[in-house]
């Protein structure tokens, strides 16, 4: 009787990657804000005011309030500008700030899925304009990101739906999987943050990448794969993890650093 052959692992049907601190070191919204500020979208005085409000929310532990502030501020910055202009800035911001922050180890993981014929999607709360650029430059299949409403090619200052964050990110991936006919039990997802537990928990292969403390504990309890690519680059100090009261404080420090550079 011939010995049984060892079978190769079943390749994932699709893979989903978080952006901030997973694919890219640091917060993509920070890099986008740097690009907008450099192009005169807002003043240092406006940014200082926002930083003060971020500190206020941090001290009160009102993380949700801070996230709403981030959303409203971003929408106010782009209102009245054309979608073509913002997308062009996204291309420039990628080259100026984001490209050098891509984690080589995570890119290898994404490329491995692509080589096996699996679609690879970037899924992030960052503006879809920036997410699209990152996905295309890395050769990924596509991107899901937060969408700002536009009419006749001009931003209105309102969102389409909710920010692609937490449960909303999981819902966006589920909808994409249903449209594409993918079995989520045969898909993979990669993230650094416990905020993405709704997404990680619904796929067959959840992977914690440079996980925060909460995600690391959860991964250990459930036997999830953990990948470490943490070369402590300067940008890593600007991490924004919006699951704890410290997140708003981190965001305030990010903004304060931007203000110093703008001064």
User: 20 catalytic, yes or no?
Assistant: yes
Catalytic residue among 18, 132, 192, 212: 18
Q: Are 179 and 197 in contact (CB under 8 A)?
A: no
**DSSP characters for the chain?**
-PPPPPPPPPPPS-EEE-TBTTTBSS-HHHHHHHHHHHTTSS-HHHHHHHHHHHHHHHHHT-HHHHHHHHHHHHHHHHTTSBHHHHHHHHHHHIIIIIGGGB-HHHHHHHHHHHHTT--EEEEEEEEHHHHHHHHHHTT-SEEEEEEEEEETTEEEEEEES--S-THHHHHHHHHHHHHHT--GGG-EEEES-GGGHHHHTTSSEEEEES--HHHHHHHHHHT-EEE------GGGGG---TTSHHHHHHHHHHHHHHHHHH-
User: 212 catalytic, yes or no?
Assistant: no
Catalytic residue among 10, 20, 183, 212: 20
Residues taking part in catalysis: 18, 20
């Amino acid at each position: 009787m011939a010995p049984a052959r060892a079978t190769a692992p079943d390749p994932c049907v699709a893979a989903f990657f978080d952006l901030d601190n997973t694919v890219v070191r640091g917060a993509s919204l920070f890099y986008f804000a740097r690009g907008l500020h450099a192009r005169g979208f807002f003043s240092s005085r406006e940014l200082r005011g926002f930083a003060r409000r971020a500190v206020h929310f941090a001290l009160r532990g009102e993380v949700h309030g801070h996230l709403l502030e981030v959303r409203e501020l971003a929408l106010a910055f782009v209102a009245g500008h054309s979608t073509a202009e913002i997308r062009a800035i996204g291309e420039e911001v990628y080259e100026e700030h984001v490209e050098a922050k891509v984690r080589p180890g995570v890119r290898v993981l994404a490329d491995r899925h692509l080589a096996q014929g699996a679609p690879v999607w970037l899924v992030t709360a960052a503006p879809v304009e920036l997410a699209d650029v990152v996905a295309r430059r890395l050769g990924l299949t596509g991107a899901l990101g937060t969408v700002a409403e536009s009419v006749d090619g001009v931003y209105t200052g309102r969102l389409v739906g909710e920010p692609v964050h937490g449960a909303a990110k999981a819902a966006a991936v589920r909808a994409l999987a249903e449209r594409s006919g993918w079995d989520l039990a045969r898909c993979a997802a990669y993230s650094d943050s416990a905020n993405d537990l709704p997404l990680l928990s619904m796929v067959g292969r959840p992977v914690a990448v440079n996980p925060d403390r909460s995600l690391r504990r959860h991964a250990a309890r459930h036997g999830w794969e953990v990948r470490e690519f943490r070369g402590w680059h300067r940008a890593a100090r600007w991490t924004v993890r919006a699951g704890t009261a410290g997140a708003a404080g981190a965001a305030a420090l990010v903004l304060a650093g931007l203000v110093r550079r703008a001064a």
